[in-house]
Amino acid sequence: MAARIERPSEYPHVALVTINRPEKANSLDLPTLRELAGAWYEIAEDDEIRAAVLTGTGDRVFCAGMDFESTLERSRRLARGEKIDSADFDGLRAAATALLAGFDLNTPLICAINGHARAGGFDLMLASEIRYAVPHATFALEEVALGLYPTGNATVLLPRQIPWVHAHELLLTAKPINAEKALEIGLINQIVPANKLLEHSLGTAARIAANAPLAVRETRRGVREILHMPLAEAYARQEALGAPLRKSADAEEGARAFTERRKPAFKGY
């Protein structure tokens, strides 16, 4: 499969999604878009998955974005109102979900950036909560150099995640930055040696998955909802989200485990 989902046995409640087209720089052709969207639907709908990791195959490229040989002409034909193959139509229709553009995964996502993240690969990274990258990774949004508008996540999420000036430099120059610069401007969390990247990313996912799942889910939801609210509304919404959790079975279990000095056994309710 060009985009596969796995459940590593040594990491309970964690899903690993891999873009698997190393011969094409892990670019997103129409079948890959369909498979990637399917993986996200599976994760979003499975309460047993409490955290997910996204990576690419190989040691050179995380994801180079759209495979224009596969997608560009078909998308132009569709825009002209021409008929295209049903499988191709399904692939184009899946693009937004595949890029997590406006699709809420409902699950914390960690990106293990094993190489260059360009265009749609950059968009996928922006949809994640935590990001680790190898030292040789580079990051670029190249749409304006191709006469295109970056319609994934870049203009929506990037200025909300890093300072205004750095966001515009990436968006308007199409110039790549290296991993050190990405770390400096807050685009990634940490630079990790290539041979430790996946282990480190899965370890973080496991730590998230070991926490109370209802609390993790609602905390993630709260950050997204509260971010741009006025302060009074934000505090009110925070209380509305937090109050039910204080009455949950997991909160009781967490308190008991703390006093008994043992690891809690959370159930998700």
111 vs 264, which has greater pLDDT? 111
**Of 254, 153, 141, 135, nearest in space to 191 by CA:** 135
CATH, residue 227 = 1.10.12.10
- How far apart are alpha carbons 162 and 112 in whole angstroms? 19
- Tokens describing residue 152: 């994934």
Please report which confidence band the pLDDT of residue 81 belongs to, taking 50, 70 and 90 as the band edges. low
In a domain, 43, yes or no: yes
What is the span of the domain harbouring residue 100? Answer: 3-209
Same structural domain, 9 and 81 = yes
Average pLDDT over residues 118-122: 96
- Looking at every residue in the chain, the average pLDDT score rounds to 92
For position 141, what pLDDT does the model report?
96
Which of the four pLDDT bands, split at 50, 70 and 90, describes residue 73? Answer: low
Half-sphere exposure of 41 (CA within 13 A, CB side): 11
Which whole number is the average pLDDT over 3-10?
95
- Residues 103 and 229 grouped into a single domain: no
* Pair (8, 114) in one structural domain: yes
Kindly report, residue by residue over 84-108, the tens digit of the pLDDT. 666 666 667 788 999 999 999 999 9
- Looking at residue 134, its pLDDT comes to 98
Whether residues 204 and 173 share a domain: the answer is yes
Higher pLDDT, 238 or 83: 238
165 and 250 in one domain? Answer: no
pLDDT of 167 > 90? The answer is yes
pTM over 0.85: yes
What's the total number of domains in the chain?
2
Whole-angstrom distance, CA of residue 144 vs CA of residue 159: 17
pLDDT of residue 79: 62
